[in-house]
Chains A and B, each alone.
Chain A
Amino acid sequence: MRKGTKLFLELIALLCSAVIAVPLYFIIVNSFKTKAEAADLSLKLPTDWNIIENYRNVFESAQIPMAFWNSLVITFFSVLFIIVFCSMSAFVIQRRDSKLTRIITQILVVGLILPGSIITTYYVMDFLNLVRTYAGVILLFIAGNYALMTYLYISFLQGIPKELDEAAIIDGSGKYRLFFRIIFPLLLPVNASVLILAAMTVWNDFLTPFYFLNTADRYTLSLAIYLFFGQKSADWNLVFSVIVIVSMPVILLYMFMQRFIIAGMTSGAVKS
């Protein structure tokens, strides 16, 4: 690449980043201000840094530590099962061309489109005695994300050549070994994407815990935040502090996972 083009591209990249970054900076900087100063909604640095008071206020009134733990447990198990179950399903659906798999593919597309229904879901959950349980909410998150995530795995699996399976089978792999030892590791980039997507969906969703987990000691972070907004919407500084607190874990997760997404594992596998 020529130096001029490169510089030009660098500039464009920075500009695009800035468009995205300004609102983010706006949230963060205003979470540091006093109530009066934050009310101006400006980008200026605070004249009066109010960080500790704001965050302590939020932590206490929104019961953050407990909600944080609840969110963590629910998100961890939901995402774990989503990754395992969806990749397993996608593998069979993509590799095997039978009447059943074709029907299932259609069902998945329908599942992507189908609007969820809270009331009838509540009937089912009540029937199975799962209302107000962690297990129930986790199962709902798996079910709710299943179609989309399986779909993502399928489209990614199309890029992994079947010859690989054949080679593994000739090497004497059984079917579970084939999937978990050979294919699953190749899915790392898409696993990373699914992980981050599922984690953020589950983490940010408040309607599911709202309807199905609504007991005071099981509030998730998103739910605690939602309730907090209902009460203190006028204090912008606190509102923005809350946003920072609830978003931070997923942002950290993304920064950690990023290199796996970018690793580009498939090409290496094909070569060998």
Chain B
Amino acid sequence: MKRSKMKKSLMLLTVFAMVFALAACGGKDNDTGNDGAVNGSGEEAVTIKAIGHTTWFIQGMEAVMVEAKKQGFNLEIEKVPDGSDGENLMKTRFATNDKPDLLFYQSAITQSAGFGNPEEVFVAQDDQPWMQNFDKVAWKNLMDSDDNLQDDVESHWYGAPYGGANTGMVLYNKKLFAELKLEIPTNMDEFWAVSEKIKSAGKTPVFLSGKDAWTVQLPVLMSNATQETADLIAKINVNQAKVTDLEDSKTGMKFLQELMSKGMVNDDVLSATYDEAQKALSEGEAGMYLMATWVMNEIVTKYPEGVNDIGAFIMPYKGEGKDLAALWQPWSMYVVKGPKQDAVQEFVNWFEQPEIQDIFFSNQGGIPAIKGVTKTKLTPAEVDAKKFLDAGQGLGNVPYPPLYNYNVNLPTLSQELIIKGGKTPEQVLEAQQKELETAAKAKGDPNFK
């Protein structure tokens, strides 16, 4: 009896010892992880903990990091995967108050982005020195945060631009166009005529990477870059118009369906990936691909021999030069409020200087948002795109900030437009309207009672 009792207590002890040993060594690990804050008395020793998507930190940032180290900035970037898994991870960190010091994320963050109320979480950049080299008017509605969207309340700027701006356009293979003696189409009739010729030459007129749903929405987003859409969104925000009124959106959706019905696309559209699109376009197997210029960064590394064959023009939905290039603002860096915010702000101010931006953009593509950047590394397609922007022919792909993001399901809905037994453009717009109403009601918006 005695023996068994001893054994029992020994057993229990062992179990608990194991559990606690595990828990204890866990605790220790956690402490060492945080020591940056403890030694943070001297400014030089502060470790800035940043978080962002893996693919955002390529050649440009690598070069800047080398310089930053020399300047005594100790930046530690935690790279999380692209896509919603990675986004969820970042949001989870903020929700549980396990925040980084610097956040790399999409621009124009609002409360609905999932990081909390920007006013409480991030340091406003309105009066920071780097703002002198930044065109507030041009980027209004694209990079500022305005949760109320009331005209009488000044919006705030929380994000400092990171990386370049991009435009959604028709990327085309210049070599193939030259071979077939094709001109850049200026209206839809010409567009279909060009497609017909490419098709009869045995190539793919327009590549559609249907497996990666997000790529299918690009033609729709491009059709949204109009002043009419901007005005409508302002009305939709207060329930005086409906998403179903967005005629320009419908144009893009109808275009997707016409591509399919006219057979102007690649085989097995729904199995084709973003990657395959890059290959087909750069090798001249496909004539055109409707995509934003960020794809050029990937083509540069993966299919470098084709980079110079690719050019860009604006999708001629309306024709007669009335169309605008759909603009994507740069990403942003957000200074998180906390004990290290001053040191982090110092880094941001340093980063946004034209000389440092020069380092960034001489190593990587993209159109800078900071004025005075002299060195860039643009591919021919991006040079084409920049020409349109410089001529003022650009507008946001979502041209006015929507209060409720009715586009969240646009990738799947766009796929629905091109599958057997899918949806009509009208049904897709209705689904988006429903999406918006649900979100508004959940918030308790009085306009949507």
Contacts and interface: CB of A to CB of B under 8 A. Distances in A.
Direct contact of A and B (CB under 8 A): yes
Interface of A: 77, 81, 118-119, 122-123, 126, 128-136, 138-139, 174-177, 210-211, 214-216, 226-227, 230-231, 233-234
B33 A215 contact: yes
Contact of A123 (B7, B54, B55, B96): B96
B81 interface: yes
Contacts of A231: 54-55
Contacts of B11: 176
A129 B29 CA distance: 10
B81 to A, nearest CB: 5
Nearest to B22: A135
A147 B8 CA distance: 25
A177 B92 contact: no
Contact of B23 (A130, A174, A230): A130
B72 interface: no
Given A214-B80, A227-B54, A234-B275, A131 B98 contact: yes
19 contacts: A122-B96, A123-B96, A126-B96, A129-B27, A129-B30, A130-B26, A133-B27, A134-B22, A135-B22, A135-B23, A135-B24, A174-B7, A175-B4, A177-B7, A210-B85, A214-B78, A214-B80, A216-B79, A234-B302
* Central interface residue in B22, B33, B82, by most chain A CB within 10 Å: B22
A211 B276 CA distance: 31
Interface in B1-60: 3-4, 7-8, 11, 18-19, 22-27, 29-30, 33, 54-55
B408 interface: no
A211 B92 contact: yes
B29 A134 contact: yes
Contacts of B193: none
Contacts of A176: 4, 7-8, 11
Given A215-B78, A226-B81, A234-B302, A133 B92 contact: no
A227 B26 CA distance: 25
B376 interface: no
Chain B, interface size category, equals: 35 or more
Contacts of B19: 139
Contact of B89 (A123, A129, A214, A216): A214
B22 A210 contact: no
Given A134-B29, A139-B19, 19 more contacts: A122-B96, A123-B96, A126-B96, A126-B98, A128-B23, A130-B30, A135-B24, A174-B3, A174-B4, A177-B4, A177-B7, A211-B92, A214-B89, A216-B79, A230-B82, A231-B54, A231-B55, A234-B273, A234-B276
B180 interface: no
B143 to A, nearest CB: 27
A215 B26 CA distance: 14
Contact of B30 (A122, A132, A214, A233): A132
B201 interface: no
Contacts of A177: 4, 7
B55 A134 contact: no
Interface string B60-76: 00000000000000000
A227 B78 contact: no
Contacts of B97: 126
B79 A122 contact: no
A214 B273 CA distance: 28
Interface of B: 3-4, 7-8, 11, 18-19, 22-27, 29-30, 33, 54-55, 78-83, 85, 88-89, 92, 95-98, 273, 275-276, 279, 302
Contacts of A210: 85, 89
A254 B8 CA distance: 34
B26 A133 contact: yes
Contacts of A135: 22-26
B66 to A, nearest CB: 19
B82 to A, nearest CB: 6
B82 A233 contact: no
A122 B92 contact: yes
A230 B81 CA distance: 7
Nearest to A172: B4
Contacts of A131: 30, 96, 98
Contacts of A138: 22
A233 B83 CA distance: 14
B92 A119 contact: yes
A211 B55 contact: no
A125 to B, nearest CB: 9
A77 B302 contact: no
B55 A132 contact: no
Contacts of B96: 119, 122-123, 126, 131
A211 B89 contact: yes
Nearest to B55: A231
A257 to B, nearest CB: 24
Contacts of B54: 227, 230-231
Contacts of B3: 174
A226 B23 CA distance: 27
A139 B22 contact: yes
Complex A-B, nearest 5 residue pairs according to Cβ-Cβ distance, in ascending order: A133-B26, A174-B4, A135-B26, A135-B22, A234-B275
A176 to B, nearest CB: 5
B223 to A, nearest CB: 29
Contacts of B79: 216
Given A210-B85, A214-B89, A227-B81, A233 B275 contact: yes
A77 B23 CA distance: 13
A128 B22 CA distance: 12
Contacts of A129: 26-27, 30
B29 A132 contact: yes
Contacts of A126: 96-98
A207 to B, nearest CB: 8
Contact of B33 (A132, A175, A226): A132
Given A177-B4, A234-B273, A118 B92 contact: yes
Nearest to A206: B85
Nearest to B279: A234
Contacts of B55: 230-231
A117 to B, nearest CB: 11
A132 B33 CA distance: 9
B273 A119 contact: no
A103 to B, nearest CB: 23
Contacts of A123: 96
Contacts of A118: 88, 92
B95 A119 contact: yes
Nearest to B92: A122
A126 B273 CA distance: 39
